[in-house]
Chain A
Amino acid sequence: MKREHLNIDHVTMEFPTPTGAFRALDNVDLVIDKGEFVSLIGHSGCGKSTVLNVVAGLYQATAGGVILDGTEVNEPGPDRAVVFQNHSLLPWLTAYQNVELAVKQVFGRKKSRAEIKQWIEHNLHLVHMDHAMHKRPDEISGGMKQRVGIARALAMQPKVLLMDEPFGALDALTRAHMQESLMEIHADLGNTVIMITHDVDEAVLLSDRIVMMTNGPAATIGEILKIDLARPRNRVEMADDAAYNHYRHEVLQFLYERQRRPGEEAEAVEQEQESTQELKVVKATRAA
């Protein structure tokens, strides 16, 4: 039997609140292969970020656990690099220095000074940031900041790259550009990636599998959709592709039809239905 690369093993997550424990995740169970690109999609508040934070080790699961290459994940570490939603660069350091902090921490003893410099520049080159290497975050655009954030994560040579809505704050054109870059990098390096997204097109275009989550509280995996599209994928060609549109349809259906009606897919959301209904209607109209 092939050994599992990343196993999110029956993870349940409860947060203490003044009115008792709040169950955010219930029995999330997922096995991810090496080099696989997995998207987590679901409505706001469904615990996508919680899953990511448990894998990152920033949260400790209440029950169950995460096993990466046979070792249990108990604390955060550079083998599970995170690209945060709001880039989280240190604003007082240049792009180069931000990546340098990570590289020195991870490879400080293993690489010589010249090798470190070369490695930093290599990673900034990967995300096309050579020209603005010595600028500080407040001097570059949102998309460029996110690029540096990705370069910093890649520079740690992580086993798993965790991305929390990395392009959520960017405009549509920049986002498309960043998606292209990410596909390129994934094709080159073959990292295992878990990405959270709200964007159906982004999920279908980038992923090998889309994990659709039911609404919280006590969110869990509702459905997993395998995307069998050949790579490299081209956005423009995909727009007319029947298979692509089918996948897209599946995800939309899950998000806006099945997750709206309780009982059909997940009993867990029954009580929450009323309160979240309005939100979903708004989203459905926006998506249409």
Chain B
Amino acid sequence: MMLSRDKIFSTEDYTAFISSFVLPMVAIAIFLGLWSASAKQVQTSLGQLPGPSAVFQQASNLVDEHFAEREKEAAFYQRQEKRNAAKLAKDPNAKVKIRPYTGKPTFFDQIVTSLVTVFTGFVLASLIAIPVGIITGLSNNLYKAINPVVQLLKPVSPLAWLPIVTMVVSAVYVTDDPMFEKSYLNSAITVMLCCMWPTLINTAVGVSSVDKDLINVSKVLRLGWFTKVYKIVLPSAFPMIFTGLRLSVSIGWMVLIAAEMLAQNPGLGKFVWDEFQNGSSNSLGRIMVAVIAIGFTGFLLDRGMLMLQRRVSWDKTAVLR
């Protein structure tokens, strides 16, 4: 009796610990071992393919570079301020110039840029896909009409969209004082074009498969079109819509890297491309750091969406994974 009460871990705790922590760790260890062993076998023109330890080395280099760059930036602004203060002390009417720091973006700046770009594309895509999905889901005829177009555009690669998007953006977006970089717009719009389809299709399917009895309820109550959509159709299609959004985020993130590579948007894609062109002995390691960062960020985006879904979902009993 005493013994079992004093035990910190019960048997269930123990098995749960093994399945949720130990097993993944073992799998990761095996993966790293295989990677390390096979990387040694490959000689490239940039030297040996980097193994886990070389990549870890490059990762810490990238972190160091980031902080070094931030220090340089801080020092630059300090010098500028001092210079300007001295100028003003000499002559209060002197014109002072404040210039922004123009150092190159670090790896982490590029991750942030990528996130901003993918977020823009994703929001644009959702703003189009959800309303269109609702309308097509409500009308069987409209669904039949739109479906071939959607199916035709859905599998198109970002690399095919990008040249078209680039030309359209340079033709349409003409201002002397651009608010956005063209490269940013190009990548965001390409992301939008590639990632709106899962949301659109899932929304349409979710909306069209609302329980017939609930539709009958809305008929008996004589709910207006808007109330019906808002009170009955949307909540009931909500899980499907969210599944679509999650797929869209994943696709958007995947597509973004390709788009940035070609559009030269200052993000992770450009980082990979620049390192590839740079071709130093460190480049492959740095690209692999980027690969891991891309994968990890994609994973976090998906988890984030899942958490959001759990938080806003009405059906707390549903198993979401």
Contact = CB atoms under 8 A, between A and B. Distances in A.
Interface in A71-129: 75-78, 80-82, 84, 86, 88, 90-92, 101-102, 105-106
A56 interface: yes
Contacts of A86: 213
A78 B221 CA distance: 5
B147 to A, nearest CB: 23
A272 interface: no
B315 A138 contact: yes
B314 interface: yes
A58 interface: yes
Contacts of B217: 82, 84, 88, 90
Contacts of A91: 314-315
9 contacts: A58-B216, A75-B219, A75-B222, A76-B219, A84-B216, A91-B315, A92-B314, A101-B231, A106-B221
A77 B214 contact: no
A84 B222 contact: no
A105 B216 contact: no
Interface of A: 56-58, 75-78, 80-82, 84, 86, 88, 90-92, 101-102, 105-106, 136, 138, 156
A76 B317 contact: no
B232 interface: yes
Given A84-B213, A91-B315, A77 B231 contact: no
A102 B227 CA distance: 12
B238 to A, nearest CB: 8
Interface string B188-207: 00000000000000000000
Given A86-B213, A91-B315, A138-B317, A76 B235 contact: no
B213 A56 contact: no
A81 B220 contact: yes
Contact of B220 (A76, A92, A136, A138): A76
- Of the listed residues A57, A76, A78, A81, the one surrounded by the most CB atoms of chain B closer than 10 A to its CB is A76
Interface string B226-243: 010001100110100000
Contacts of B238: 92
A138 B315 CA distance: 9
Given A138-B315, A138-B317, A90 B232 contact: yes
